[in-house]
């Protein structure tokens, strides 16, 4: 199978680094360029030190339009900050033959011809898409926790979510809440009930359960670890645990990365992988759904490659059979 040539805009950040790690080991992808405004001319491994010995790529800094006009370019990933993708697509002319996967929040409302890229929600639409908006990391873990209920029309009351994320979810730029001396041995909440991912979560639920207007009460936590998200979700449920497990296993039966575990789950099972693991419990008429992902892989770069695989007719799991460091 011929290699697909891809470019990365914003390749020096966390998501750019994860994309490079996956793509250079992908059997059908080749990096045409890795662009960075801040690291022009430097070896990729000088920033992403885990790639030393794996690639001799150098960060591109030349005219972006020239890079986009390469005859063999077939897809680009946009890994710059939120708001930058809209500016990028306004400033530069992109050939119609080049597919776009955007990792920012800019087009998750499916504006400007973008398709919301959660394969477990709309895989067939992604296969036909030329512009894909990658979901947010919290949104991915929470949506995967409750999509089967929405599909069955079982979201009858409010949904309550408590979720914790690693420090890489805040990006590479230093801040008061990301440096080691504050984050280590610490825990805090932020954007309680107002987190920006609520908008796409509700949009996705309405795709499966039209007219869903109940509240999603979301309290996010900053964890004192680097990678991973655990979301614990509960909502009223009148069935048994056996019925819940069957509902979830049936919904995800054709999705290679989301699995139902009947044993309790922990973050180390998914870190460095494109998996989502889900564990269900029923307590006094409440269904408790625990959902875990790696925020940088299934929550960002891994899912972006999963979407590219679908859009180009490749095996959905190509380049994404990654092992977790579970010990």
The residues that are catalytic are: 137
At residue 177, the 3 state secondary structure works out as coil
CA 313/CA 300 separation, integer angstroms: 20
Dihedral over alpha carbons 192, 188, 169, 132 (to 10 degrees): -10
The residue to which tokens 């119609």 are assigned: 96
CA 140/CA 134 separation, integer angstroms: 9
**Cα distances (angstroms) measured from residue 274 to each of 263, 298, 321:** 20, 4, 8
> Is 141 in contact with 169 (CB distance < 8 Å)?
no
CA 27/CA 316 separation, integer angstroms: 12
> Is 1 in contact with 28 (CB distance < 8 Å)?
yes
| Tokens found for residue 67 | 């890079």
**Cα distances (angstroms) measured from residue 293 to each of 119, 145, 181:** 15, 11, 25
What DSSP element (H or E) covers 305? helix 302-311
At residue 43, the 3 state secondary structure works out as strand
């Amino acid at each position: 199978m011929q290699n697909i040539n891809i470019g990365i805009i914003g390749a020096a950040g966390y998501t750019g680094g994860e994309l490079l790690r996956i793509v250079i080991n992908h059997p059908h992808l080749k990096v045409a360029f890795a662009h960075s405004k801040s690291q022009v001319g430097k070896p990729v491994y000088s920033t992403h030190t885990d790639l030393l010995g794996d690639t001799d790529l150098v960060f591109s800094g030349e005219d972006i339009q020239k890079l986009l006009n390469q005859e063999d370019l077939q897809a680009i990933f946009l890994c710059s900050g939120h708001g930058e993708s809209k500016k990028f697509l306004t400033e530069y002319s992109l050939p119609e033959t080049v597919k776009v996967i955007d990792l920012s929040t800019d087009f998750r409302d499916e504006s400007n011809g973008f398709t919301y890229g959660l394969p477990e929600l709309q895989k067939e639409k992604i296969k036909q898409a030329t512009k894909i908006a990658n979901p947010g990391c919290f949104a991915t873990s929470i949506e995967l926790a409750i999509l089967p209920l929405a599909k069955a029309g079982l979201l009858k009351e409010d949904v309550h979510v408590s979720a914790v994320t690693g420090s890489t979810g805040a990006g590479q730029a230093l801040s008061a809440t990301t440096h080691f001396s504050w984050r280590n041995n610490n825990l805090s909440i932020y954007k309680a009930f107002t987190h920006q991912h609520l908008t796409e979560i509700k949009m996705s639920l309405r795709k499966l359960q039209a007219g869903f207007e109940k509240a999603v009460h979301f309290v996010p936590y900053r964890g004192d670890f680097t990678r991973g998200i655990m979301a614990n979700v509960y909502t009223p449920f009148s069935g048994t645990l056996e019925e819940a497990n069957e509902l979830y296993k049936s919904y995800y039966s054709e999705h290679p990365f989301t699995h139902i575990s009947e044993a309790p789950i922990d973050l180390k099972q998914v870190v460095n992988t494109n998996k989502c693991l889900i564990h269900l419990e029923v307590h006094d008429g409440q269904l408790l759904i625990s959902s875990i992902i790696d925020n940088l892989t299934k929550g960002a770069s891994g899912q972006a490659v999963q979407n590219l695989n679908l859009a180009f007719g490749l095996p959905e799991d190509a380049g994404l059979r990654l092992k977790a460091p579970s010990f």
